Amino acid sequence: MFEKGQVCYSIEITHKVNGFLISYQDIVFDGIELEEIANLKSVLGRVNKVAEELKVIPSEFIIEFQYDCGCAFCAVDKKHVLLLSLPIAIVGKQMIIRDYGIDEDYLLYHELMHAKEVLDGRFLSSGQFMPEDYVEGLIGRLNDFANEGKLETMGKPHQSKETSIENVYNCILEDGKFGVIPQEKMRILTKEAVAELCNKVWGIELTESEAHRIIKELLDI
């Protein structure tokens, strides 16, 4: 159960390896079974290492391996069960996690920082959000800025501030094009405004109430 976001999310657990509950549908990966993945335990070791570094300690740790076209996300419920969903590719029986040209573990750091927000009590437990919930989407962008800044301070793989601003602004433009964000709000969300938001929260211990306040104040809602 989640306190906000999607509350009817279910997932099929197919394996348990090294303490992780795993969802892996071999039919999606051309019939390659999880047991055939040569570097599986190495990948799980990387996940465990990042979680330990960030002091992410869930009650249960579920990993969902998706086909490469999926989007990564991390959800934590009220019982502190953590679901980490990772898009992967399989090349020569090796599992590859997208690194965005930063570091092979970048996506793990990025997603598990979101889990840390909930487990540390700064945000309510949450699942996925509907695309049209643009305010929650923008709060998620603030989270990204805050977390990338914290990773920078910690000396961990992260996006630069400039790259983060560019990526978030492009996502906002895309949302505006498809009508997710109302046009009257798009006029407020200039690149300069996005950069100001980034600078305001970069590297801070952002809380849910503070993120809501910043976005609502900006959009006058």
CATH number at residue 84: 3.30.2010
Q: Looking at the structure, tell me whether residues 112 and 142 fall in a common domain.
A: no
The fraction of the chain above a pLDDT of 70, given in percent, is 99
Say how many domains are in the chain: 2
Integer angstrom CA distances of residue 190 from 112, 186, 197, 211: 29, 7, 11, 18
Of 134, 110, 136, the closest CA to residue 124 belongs to 136
Q: Looking at the structure, tell me whether residues 101 and 162 fall in a common domain.
A: no
Residue 200 backbone dihedrals phi, psi, to 5 degrees = -70, -35
Residue-number span of the structural domain to which 215 is assigned: 134-219
Instruction: Find the mean pLDDT for residues 138-149.
Output: 96
Is position 143 within any domain? yes
Kindly report, residue by residue over 70-112, the tens digit of the pLDDT: 789 999 999 999 999 999 999 999 999 988 899 999 999 999 9
